[in-house]
Amino acid sequence: MNEKPEKLIDKKGLRLDGRKADELRPLKLQVGVLPNADGSAYIEHGKNKILAAAFGPREMHPKHLAQADRMVLRCRYHMAPFSVQERKSPAPSRREVELSKVIKESLEPALFHELYPRTGVDVFVEVLQADGGTRCASITAAALAIADAGVPMRDLVVACAAGKVDDTIVLDLYDAEDKLGVADVPVAYMPSLNAVTLLQMDGILTPAEFEKAVNMAMDGCRKIYELQKEALKTKYMVVKEVEE
């Protein structure tokens, strides 16, 4: 993937990995994979493999970070050294610090901060393998981990990106499209409340294209939301089926 292919979309309208313009990558979601965490989730989004763990609400450490009137959410997004082709230094990079903030801010509207003052919720996102769109997959997994920890939420947060590759608006960009494409628009969304919690854009789009991309990303989010709910229910359904 070092040389730029001439076209990212072929004559039939298919992308380099064979998907249609509005097709998601295959997804696999699992909840409760880490018994040591209060809540956890694992996501496989195309070639992305990401673990998320949530702890709390618990007493804040260091104590001066606690807020007298609200709960504090902390996130750490981290990429494993083996998550990309070239070894990535395990030290937090500028990009990881930024993504930690972005993920935190996209999850915050879903929480009832005022209910548990002086406490903190910690979310750790560990990218085991990256293939473009990790911030979106991380948000989807992190929301599941928080819900699994039993922290009350307004809604599960789902994220999905859309963008422009060659001249076409496409859904769910993967690594090559992200790097060689024209623009990338990640969107995080709470489907039940119809509220967008994250909206970024990297690249240049006309207002019409932007709107089309946002709507496409939101449609993608709704599809992932169904899988997300299913994954959360599956963990607790196992218990239900035992004696039925």
Q: Which residues bind another protein (CB under 8 A)?
A: 38-39, 56-59, 68-69, 110, 112, 116-119, 147-150, 152-156, 190-193, 229, 232-233, 236-237, 239-240, 242-244
Judged by beta carbon, residue 1 or residue 115, the one nearer another protein is: 115
62 preceded by cis ω (within 30°)? yes
Judged by beta carbon, residue 142 or residue 213, the one nearer another protein is: 142
CB of 119 to another protein, least distance (A): 4
Strand partners, 75: 123
Determine the number of helices (DSSP H) and then strands (DSSP E) in the chain. 4, 10
Judged by beta carbon, residue 143 or residue 205, the one nearer another protein is: 143
Q: Please report, in angstroms and rounded to a whole number, the separation of the first and last CA atoms in the chain.
A: 52
Residues 29, 38: Cα–Cα separation, whole Å: 18
For the beta sheet containing 119-129, the strands, ordered from the edge strand earlier in sequence to the opposite edge, are 27-31, 39-45, 48-59, 119-129, 72-79
Judged by beta carbon, residue 24 or residue 195, the one nearer another protein is: 195
CB of 214 to another protein, least distance (A): 21
Rg, C-alpha atoms of the chain: 18
CB of 115 to another protein, least distance (A): 8
Q: Which two tokens stand for residue 103?
A: 């993920």
Q: Which residues of the chain form beta strands (DSSP E)?
A: 27-31, 39-45, 48-59, 72-79, 119-129, 158-165, 168-171, 183-190, 195-199, 202-203
Angstrom CA distances, 176 to 1, 5, 7, 9, 111, stand at: 7, 10, 12, 12, 34
CB of 159 to another protein, least distance (A): 15
Judged by beta carbon, residue 107 or residue 183, the one nearer another protein is: 107
CB of 137 to another protein, least distance (A): 19
Judged by beta carbon, residue 92 or residue 117, the one nearer another protein is: 117
